[in-house]
Chain A
Amino acid sequence: MKIIEIKNLKKTYEDNSIAVHAVNGVDLSIGEGEFTAIVGPSGSGKTTLMNIIGGLDEATEGSVIIDGINTLELSTRKLTDFRMYNIGFVFQAYNLIPVLTAKENVEFIMQLQGIKKAQREERATELLRAVGLGELMDRKPSKLSGGQQQRVAVARALASKPKFVLADEPTANLDSKSTENLLGIMEQLNEEEKITFIFSTHDQRVVKKARRVITLEDGKIISDKRKNSNNTD
């Protein structure tokens, strides 16, 4: 089942009076439960495409249909709500709220959604256990390693039960061990919970784990390859 359908997506901006086509006619469908990496050199349009899919940036032309709704036609206010209920975000620099504990960081989105305290606590605990942080959930981000912070970020991204998770260079700041650990958790969540992950990455370790790799160049998709689900290399 398709959860994202992008048609003829274009994003053009002006740089010193020169038109730059950051995304130039992208057509793309992403189905439920996919584990997809978007790759490409710097300036290929990966981040812009991710931002438009995530409702953080506007497009010049085209449509992004998520769950039957063209997000490009939503007002800023509706788009904010749409992101809260439908999209999970994992950022390169974790972007946790430093004054909240790991558990509170995960609970935060659910509180924005108006979920009751008991339910929030139960789900936050469950998610933090799922990412291997059951023992560290009362620590603040400053008391966690980079890898642990990114795992909290994954738990936070899943807290709102989103349709998919957008992970923008999630391993860029992590060492090999933490990367391996994080990718293992995400892969497990994808396989067991059927959670859809879309990565924007330069990291070959992520590319190896991905079951679909979309390559962008100059704002266009130049390749879209699917691997076997049992890919282990």
Chain B
Amino acid sequence: MMSFSKEQKIIEIGDLKLGGQPGELPTALFGTVFYGKKYREPDAEAMEGVREFIRRQNELGEMTGNPSVIDIYLGDEENMASRIDLVLEEIPEKQPFSIDIPESEIRQTALKHASEIGISNRIILNSFNLAAEPEELEVLREHPPGCAILLGYNPKDFSVDGRIDMIESGAGYIEKGLMEFADEFGIKNILLDTGATPFDHNAAETLRSIPVMKNKWGLPTGCAIHNTVESWLWMKKYRKEHKAEYLTCDAGANALPVMLGADFCVYGPIRNAGTVFPFVAMIDKFVAEGAEDYFGVAQPENHPRRKLE
């Protein structure tokens, strides 16, 4: 539906291709595994459930053409290696995966581990952000992942400019911009996450930042807008009795960034893949048709526009 005068880069990590002009490539969808109390302990039944979720998301990716990215949530160090191993067992050798690790120390351990077992090039770091401590910066320099998502979350300024400032200068939190650090570390593939914020905390600027960042850097851009829905106070009560309606909002929110040019969505728990993949595939069809009709942007055969006629 829109086209940028700035060249839009397409990046390739293994068999994952994303970026380009809106409508050119399908939206990549990141579904998160191991998030939630259920996965705190390595319970065999829960782990088998995770394997099934991974297979299901990959099947949906094949069916729709929307690239499937398994996003591994790691909240503790003890289970880190076994959880990465589980995902590696389930996905094809060329498929990259992302690691979502809130704590800096565990991120460092995971980056070193990935380097030791020779899979750094398959890692998408989700994310490189303002909370990176000096030790983490050193680890990133020594063991750069194949791809990093730079997070625009800026606690003191949720405006578009504040989010850009985080990536461009570090916004006073760290000595340089995330982009400059990533470049120094030799991270070859960069994705931009605009940093979802809750309602009443400039939530819409999460979305506005997408075309602005794409226009500025020409890099694949997206966000985890489901977090805004999840933190919606009214919905927290309503969803207790209206789960289906909540899931509609949760999946439906992904239409917003995609309509504004997003190249990927981090859509939340992987158990929602069955709803999210067909939904985003439909949005991709609209966007792609508009892109070809008006801007002459053609799509590859594996695009939902071609696969889901």
Does chain A bind chain B?
no
